[in-house]
């Protein structure tokens, strides 16, 4: 498998109002990287963290960051490619399933 899968986490330093007892977006981003690395090894996953209040100027990232704010989505919002696979408190099973659907295989 030669193609990279992009996993993007949209979040903020400030916890979302409904996520008071959860880790920060950045902590969940780092946790996802570690968990995916353990299950799939050093795989073909490219990770991006986007601060919703200070997104890069690149079109799709900026537009989705604005959508997270406008639609009051719970963050972090986790995307695998362009599919939302987690919001607020992402579930590993859901993220793993999305990665496997795109061809990643767990390491033995």
Residue % of the chain over a pLDDT of 90: 69
Q: What local confidence, expressed as pLDDT, does residue 8 receive? A: 96
- Rounded to an integer, the average pLDDT of 52-72 is 93
Q: Is the pTM of this model over 0.75?
A: yes
Q: Tokens 């793993």 appear where?
A: 96
User: What residues make up the domain containing 44?
Assistant: 5-79
In a domain, 89, yes or no: no
By mean pLDDT, which of 15-24, 68-77, 82-91 is the weakest?
A: 15-24
Please check whether residue 91 lies inside any domain of the structure.
no
Asked whether residue 18 carries a pLDDT value surpassing 70, the answer given is no
- Give the CATH number, domain containing residue 69: 3.40.30.30
26 within domain boundaries: yes
Residue 29 lies in a domain: yes
Tokens of 11: 């979040």
Determine phi and psi for 77, rounding to 5 degrees.
-105, 125
Residue 92 domain-assigned (yes or no): no
- In this prediction, residues 18-28 reach a mean pLDDT of 81
The phi, psi pair for 85, rounded to 5°, reads -115, 0
Q: Is residue 37 part of a domain?
A: yes
Number of domains within the chain: 1
Q: Which residues of 23-39 are buried (b: 16+ CB within 10 A; e: fewer)?
A: ebbeebbeebeeebeeb
The answer to whether residue 15 is domain-embedded is: yes
pLDDT (average), residues 28-45: 91
């Amino acid at each position: 498998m030669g193609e990279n899968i992009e996993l993007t986490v949209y979040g903020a330093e400030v916890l979302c109002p409904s996520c008071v007892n959860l880790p920060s977006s950045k902590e969940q981003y780092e946790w996802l990287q570690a968990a995916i690395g353990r299950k799939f090894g050093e795989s073909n996953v490219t990770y991006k963290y986007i601060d919703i209040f200070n997104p890069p100027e690149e079109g799709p990232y900026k537009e989705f960051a604005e959508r997270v704010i406008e639609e009051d989505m719970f963050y972090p919002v986790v995307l695998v490619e362009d599919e939302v696979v987690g919001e607020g408190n992402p579930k590993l099973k859901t993220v793993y399933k999305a990665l496997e659907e795109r061809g990643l295989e767990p390491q033995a």
